[in-house]
Amino acid sequence: MAEQTFRLPDLGEGLTEAQLVTWRVEEGGQVEVNEPLCDVETAKAVVVIPSPWAGTIQKLHARPGESVAVGSALVTIAAQGAPAPVEPLPAESVEATPSTLVGYGPGAGPPAGIRRRARVAPSTPQMGSDVRAAPFVRQLAKERGVDLAALTGSGPGGRITRADVEGAASPVAATSAAAAASTTDGERRISVVGIRKAIARQMVRSVTTIPQFTEFAVFDATKLLAARERQKQSGRSMTPLPYFILALVKAVRAFPLMNSSWDEAHDEIVVKQPINVGIAVNTSQGLLVPVLRGAERLDLMAIADQAARLIEGARAGTLKPVEMSGGTITITNVGASGPVETGTPIISPTECCVGAFGAIKPRPMVIDGKVVARSGAWISISVDHRIVDGALATEFLTALVGELETSRA
């Protein structure tokens, strides 16, 4: 029994970390060669890591949700048995012995010697980009807080070496850098990975690239609620969401520009044919936006079915990435779980419009000059001002209110 620790490999050509999604083994359990150990999510894919050895799981070194650096310990396994004797690969197959390298024909042979450029004497490196150092040395300097421009390189042509950086890094700098990564007085640092990171990136992209404005309206939900009641009588109860989606789709049909995106590179507006409605869903992992595709071809029932399936899938974490991409317009039901009336939603970076629906509840409305209690809700839309001006947004919002107020079962 030899204890061996398996370290997280670079699973995708140049990755530096992965997030542990779930373990498929537990400490004390047995594992066979190639049996799944865990699922990890890299920047490129979610992959299953098969066990390199058979044996007993001694220790799992990371928790689900944790971000693991490439090269860090993942799992320790007490391996069974000694490795089988191995017939070595013929020397020709590896180029460690270049004189027998195959495929280059006889006579090519290894070069007698590489002509080296005469080395220039170490000189003081210039400022800024003139500093000569390999990328890993620059990284090291950054980590240790060493200013490369202040160093004299001892390598060829004045290149700064690892030793130069290590020599210059004061122990004080090293400790303070380490401290910053953990806890300081009254502060806790949470590493941002996975969905949180993706949301952050999308939101920054939206607010830094899209000049967006928001308009608000209140609609009378009397007919919508009546239609919903009739549905219920006929054995089918549903949330207001499918009605919202249907009304949105109908309004978008009349105003196709709402279903578009701005193509910065070509100075073009890309008007999309299918209406793919992204539905903002709050999940234990954070905000997810599954996409209801081809909504313009669906009736209320089909919309209700699809939306329910997507929302459930988003919450259970079973949706494929393709089911969460390709949206052309987004809807968020801000009133679904609280007293929220309305909000100023942020546009998804590849869309033109997002609509937020507030809570439906009785509120005073003036009908025929009299104040009466009617069920109603706020809606707001945020739109890309590069594509849509206030006048058009208002027309669209008016159409949307019209659709909502004439909802039928």
Partner 1 sequence: MADVVQVVGTDDPVRPLFSEAGELRADARSGLGLDAAALRDLYQKMVLIRRADKEALNLQRQGELGLWGQYLGQEAIHVGAVAALEPTDWIFPSYREFGMAMCRGVDPAEMLTWFRGLSHGPWDPRKYAFAPLAVPVATQVPHAVGFAMGSKLRGDDDVVLGTFGDGATSKGDWHEAMNFAGVFRAPVILLCQNNHWAISVPLAKQTAGSIAERAPGYGFPGIRIDGNDVLGVFAAVRAAAERARRGDGPYLIEAMTYRMGAHTSSDDPTRYRLDSELQAWSAKDPIARYQSWLQGQGLLDEAAAAAIDGEAETMAEQMRTRLRAAVPAPAGEAIFGRVYERPPDPFTEEREEFEASLEGT
Catalytic residue numbers? 385
> Does 194 sit near partner 1 (CB under 8 A)?
no
Contact partners, residue 39, CB within 8 Å, separation at least 6: 20, 21, 22, 24, 46, 47, 48, 49
Is there binding between residue 112 and partner 1 (CB under 8 A)?
A: no
Binding to partner 1 in span 153-182, by CB under 8 A: 155-157, 159, 161-163
Check binding of 139 to partner 1 (CB under 8 A): no
Site for partner 1 (CB under 8 A): which residue of 22, 44, 126, 274?
44
Q: Whose CA is closest to 137, among 153, 160, 158?
A: 160
Q: Is 32 in the site for partner 1 (CB under 8 A)?
A: no
Q: Which of residues 49-68 bind partner 1 (CB under 8 A)?
A: 49-52
Residue 103 C-beta: closest distance to partner 1, Å:
4
Give the footprint of partner 1 on residues 77-106 (CB under 8 A): 83-84, 86-90, 92-96, 98, 101-104
| Residue 226 binds partner 1 (CB under 8 A) | no
DSSP 14-29: S--EEEEEEESS-TT-
Question: Minimal distance in Å, beta carbon 92 to partner 1?
Answer: 8
Applying the rule CB under 8 A, the residues between 261 and 280 that interact with partner 1 are none
* β partners of residue 269: 262
CB of 125 to partner 1, least distance (A): 14
**Could you say whether residue 320 binds partner 1 (CB under 8 A)?**
yes
> Measured between alpha carbons, how far is 6 from 331 in angstroms, rounded to an integer?
45
Q: Is 47 in the site for partner 1 (CB under 8 A)?
A: yes
110 touches partner 1 by CB under 8 A: yes
Q: How far apart are CA 56 and CA 39, in angstroms?
A: 19
By CB under 8 A, tell whether 121 contacts partner 1.
no
Binding segment for partner 1 (CB under 8 A), chosen from 61-69, 108-116, 232-240, 348-356, is 108-116
Interface stretch with partner 1, choices 18-26, 48-56, 197-205, 224-232 (CB under 8 A): 48-56
How far is it, in rounded angstroms, from Cα 281 to Cα 289? 6
With the C-alpha atoms ordered 226, 228, 232, 233, is the resulting torsion angle positive or negative? positive
For residue 160, list its beta bridge partners: 133
Distance CA 93, CA 104 (A): 13
Q: Is 402 in the site for partner 1 (CB under 8 A)?
A: no
What residues have CB less than 8 Å from 120, skipping those under 6 apart? 156, 157, 158
Identify which of 226, 202, 219 has the alpha carbon closest to the alpha carbon of residue 354: 202
Q: From the CB of 87, what's the least distance to partner 1, in Å?
A: 6
Structure-token pair, residue 271: 């008007």
Q: How far apart are CA 99 and CA 110, in angstroms?
A: 6
Q: Which residues bind partner 1 (CB under 8 A)?
A: 6-13, 33-34, 44-52, 83-84, 86-90, 92-96, 98, 101-104, 108, 110-111, 114-117, 134, 136-137, 155-157, 159, 161-163, 320-322, 325
